[in-house]
Amino acid sequence: MPHRIVVLGAGYAGAFSANYLARQLDPDDFTITVVNAEPDFVERLRLHQLAAGQELRHRPLTDVFAGTDIRLRVARITGIDPGQRTVSVVDDTGGDQIRYDTLLYALGSTAADHGIPGVAEHAFHVAARPAALRLRARLDELGDDGKVLVVGGNLTAIEAVTEIAESRPGLRISLVTSGELGGWLGQKARRHLLRAVDRFGITVHENTTIERVEASAAVATDGTAFVSDATVMAAGFAVHPIAAASGLAVEPNGQITVDRQMRSVSHPDVYVAGDSVFIIGNNGQPLPMSCASAGPTSKQAAAAIIGDRTGRRIPTISMSYVGNHISLGRKDAVYQLVDKQARSKPGALRGRTAARVKSAILDTAAWAVSHPTFGKPGHNYAAAE
């Protein structure tokens, strides 16, 4: 019987890894099944554009995996039993179980609610396609008359608030952050960011923590109520609790604990890539949940699976983090490089040039998912005896 590899999730990390494995392993010795809740590859890094009202390119996973023997299963994952090596799923036909010999966990993350009451009932986010479409529908309802509040001061919050402000100039838009907006950026990049925020007419409330979200307002710890017709939570990410519930060893934040080769420390037949993995980068800090982390972790996980199952040497993939690239609408951006300690460097790429570079990077990332071995030969590595 062929060795059964099951990949959970078809985002940047999952789709890339599955395609890479399919192009390296002998299909007579291995089967690869990808389980994903949607039939399409979703460019998560563009979901703030979708929420703002723009259309994204349609990328069916059948096209992404074209030319391979990958089996696509469109279903929602409800549980994992690493002892029995099974994955429980639900689709339109009902529940089912998928058996595996090797599991690659790449379910990514969603918006963090930080335990704030009312977020689940009243807030929006842009960390998944259905959520972005829900926000888009709400913004359509508001038209040119409404108040939008974005909660958060990180990259996603900045991209979401500026995208919405540019695409829907009639709305009154505010941002609330518990810290200083762009405080981690170098001086040049932060000045550029603040000018863009001012140009869009976005009202910023710094050093303000939201305590609860209501149907028409978000209330801060000091009692200040920020009236809002649509409150968008963009204050960081959280991983799916399914990993911890399955008995896999996890960190306090729910990310799966792995060795340097992306193997689960509790279940070595489970490999992890993307936002779901806890790994220390070259700078001694945990890699952040981002597309930039999806690249090296997926490459390392795929290399480890190939090495462990075929007996080949496993290369060590560099876990570097070079900077933050933040779009400020469609025609503006900042690209902040960081040093080896993840501290912002003085200089930064800004303006239209940075926007073009950001767009090119996103296009390349999406293209690479379908062409993971570009420039390198494919193989048919057989299973080790």
Which CATH number goes with the domain that contains 171?
Answer: 3.50.50.60
pLDDT recorded at residue 134: 98
Contact 87, 246 (CB under 8 A): no
Tens of pLDDT, residues 170-197: 999 999 999 999 998 999 999 999 999 9
Confidence band (pLDDT; 50, 70, 90) for 292?
Answer: confident
Kindly tell me if the per-residue pLDDT of 340 is higher than 80.
Answer: no
- CA torsion sign, 110 to 112 to 115 to 121? negative
Asked whether residue 365 is domain-assigned, the answer is: no
Rg (CA), the chain: 21
Confidence band (pLDDT; 50, 70, 90) for 377?
Answer: confident
Dig out the tokens for 321 from the structure: 């983090």
Residue 166 sits in the same domain as residue 208? yes
pLDDT recorded at residue 182: 92
Tens of pLDDT, residues 204-261: 999 999 999 999 999 999 999 999 999 999 999 999 999 999 999 999 999 999 999 9
Residue 63 sits in the same domain as residue 13? yes
pLDDT recorded at residue 323: 81
Asked whether residue 368 is domain-assigned, the answer is: no
- Residue 355: alpha-carbon gap to chain centroid: 20
Confidence band (pLDDT; 50, 70, 90) for 346?
Answer: confident
Alpha helices in the chain (DSSP H): 12-24, 47-52, 61-64, 119-122, 129-142, 155-167, 187-199, 242-245, 291-310, 351-370
- Pick from 287, 321, 355: which residue ends a domain? 321
Residue 99 sits in the same domain as residue 246? yes
Residue 155 sits in the same domain as residue 124? yes
Residue 40 sits in the same domain as residue 84? yes
- Pick from 276, 297, 321: which residue ends a domain? 321
- Pick from 278, 306, 321: which residue ends a domain? 321
Kindly tell me if the per-residue pLDDT of 30 is higher than 80.
Answer: yes
Residue 220 sits in the same domain as residue 263? no
Number of domains present in the structure of the chain: 2
Dig out the tokens for 206 from the structure: 């710094």
Asked whether residue 380 is domain-assigned, the answer is: no
Residue 172 sits in the same domain as residue 198? yes
Kindly tell me if the per-residue pLDDT of 374 is higher than 90.
Answer: no
As a whole number of Å, the end-to-end CA separation of the chain is 13
Indicate the range of 44-53, 123-132, 277-286 predicted with least confidence: 277-286
Asked whether residue 337 is domain-assigned, the answer is: no
Residue 91 sits in the same domain as residue 42? yes
Residue 244 sits in the same domain as residue 97? yes
Tens of pLDDT, residues 307-330: 999 999 999 999 987 788 999 999
Average pLDDT (285-312) is 93
Confidence band (pLDDT; 50, 70, 90) for 338?
Answer: confident
Residue 124 sits in the same domain as residue 44? no
Asked whether residue 350 is domain-assigned, the answer is: no
Return d(Cα 308, Cα 287) in angstroms, integer: 24
Asked whether residue 327 is domain-assigned, the answer is: no
Asked whether residue 376 is domain-assigned, the answer is: no
Asked whether residue 65 is domain-assigned, the answer is: yes
pLDDT recorded at residue 309: 97
Largest CA distance in the chain: 67
Confidence band (pLDDT; 50, 70, 90) for 343?
Answer: confident
Return d(Cα 219, Cα 208) in angstroms, integer: 10
- CA torsion sign, 260 to 261 to 267 to 270? positive
Average pLDDT (2-26) is 97
pLDDT recorded at residue 178: 96
Tens of pLDDT, residues 92-111: 999 999 999 999 999 999 99
Residue 255 sits in the same domain as residue 314? yes
Kindly tell me if the per-residue pLDDT of 80 is higher than 80.
Answer: yes
Dig out the tokens for 304 from the structure: 């480890």
Return d(Cα 176, Cα 198) in angstroms, integer: 15
Return d(Cα 88, Cα 347) in angstroms, integer: 49
**Which structural domain range is residue 251 located in?**
3-108+240-321
Kindly tell me if the per-residue pLDDT of 342 is higher than 80.
Answer: no
Residue 195 sits in the same domain as residue 178? yes
